[in-house]
Structure 1
């Protein structure tokens, strides 16, 4: 059976397990086009457990149309890779699956130029696989002709749920894991966190980060919507949930919009940019240990379904449909 061509930018460490699982199911060759990475954990590992190619973006159309592949999957990475993959699949008369990852189109002049071509691909892809229901809802506003499937965001379950050595630095510990960039809402968190000990985890090893999750009472994900950014998911939520740590997230976080962080069930959800609401949520969890424990237990149970296999199954369903 011919392989599937999957066009994306990188195979960062947090994607390797998912990509390997999909390859084992479908015989996938990954065309890694490179380029800049906005989110943490980017870059491509040198040794990967699946076939890879490293074409320039200008060569993607020819590769997709080559006849060597039974289907083409492409994400939103790169300036020209997506339309090239789509055009190549059409020229080669093979099915095209869009891997959709955004739930709002960026509002910058450069992105405005890409809106109509991307809407055409949404409408005419043979199938679409998304990050979750929030992305699926957005995609359906583009009136796609093909079916839409969800491939849930996942991390390495075995690693993140393994016993850790708690790194605890206060009686009530708040954790911020990620880049303290403006769109991540770090300044809002600094204003809101007037109790407990706020720990910032940036450029930590996975083992160090797992220890910080284990030692923290709450993970806070205070992301903000900007003209060119809306948090697609937030894998730190999955990581914390595997350690049984509840999350306070804003409604601009994909993991909240997508249903993993559910208000008063697996965490607390507050309006993005609302310092008072975020402060109130922090105080609520500080003062209610029983609620923290219940949320953490629910979170660990809920995230168990978010696995590499579940992601690969979602992608496989999209391939099977076309």
Structure 2
């Protein structure tokens, strides 16, 4: 992961039509193009579910996108680079009667048959509109110049889709990040420690511990997550993507029990890093247990297979893989 270049812009792909697939299925499919990827399942304000796939480079992301459309188990998925605008000469908006019995696959099959190769076809839940992304500009122009289309007995109309159009929501280029395990005195230094932090609010969890929800530019948030773990004044700041259901993007967690308060999170980070890269390390509330999040499953298996009992500063601790 450290080989990723700073000037590689937005190697992040968004995938729609994912409700019937698990993260593992999507990850296995995308690994045909890049073995070093990460998947983040998200929902927008309209409860529309989608997946962000972080590729190791813009080259592998583009190779993936160049082979669109993609099908997983014979089901088509819509894919695009997050930084790509959802408008331009290759995009066409389709106006549909909201009561029409037309599916996204119907639109895809009909349009590709009559006008040419389609990269994306997204029908929104309101059934009042959809947008099509063509591979060739000429195909989009032919669709716009046509008229009198009937699909499943219903009339559809191809319209221009440009920057001035407000009919479709654009994907936000900011991300909410959870930053935990900090003290009150650290609040003044947050803008210095995180210079790209646009705004933040302070909250408390069920144990009374404070954490921050901070807004970062999308590209800055990617760099932030890749550089973990962060140490401040001998403590490890725990940084996650803030999801509605859980504050994590992978499940490679090691549970460490019987951790004396003579040990801090930095002691555990330093010791368990010998088995692989650690993303987060923090005490489990007000208990004697710690959660350690590894970057990959192989590191987690390595430490478990080595020994179930580990000793730091003469303190014996028991470890186990945390069950999902």
Common topology (TM > 0.5) = no
TM-score, normalization: structure 1? Answer: 0.27
Higher relative CO (Cα under 8 Å, sequence separation at least 6) belongs to: 1
**Structure having the higher Rg:** 2
Q: TM-score, normalised by structure 2?
A: 0.27
Say which structure is richer in helix.
1
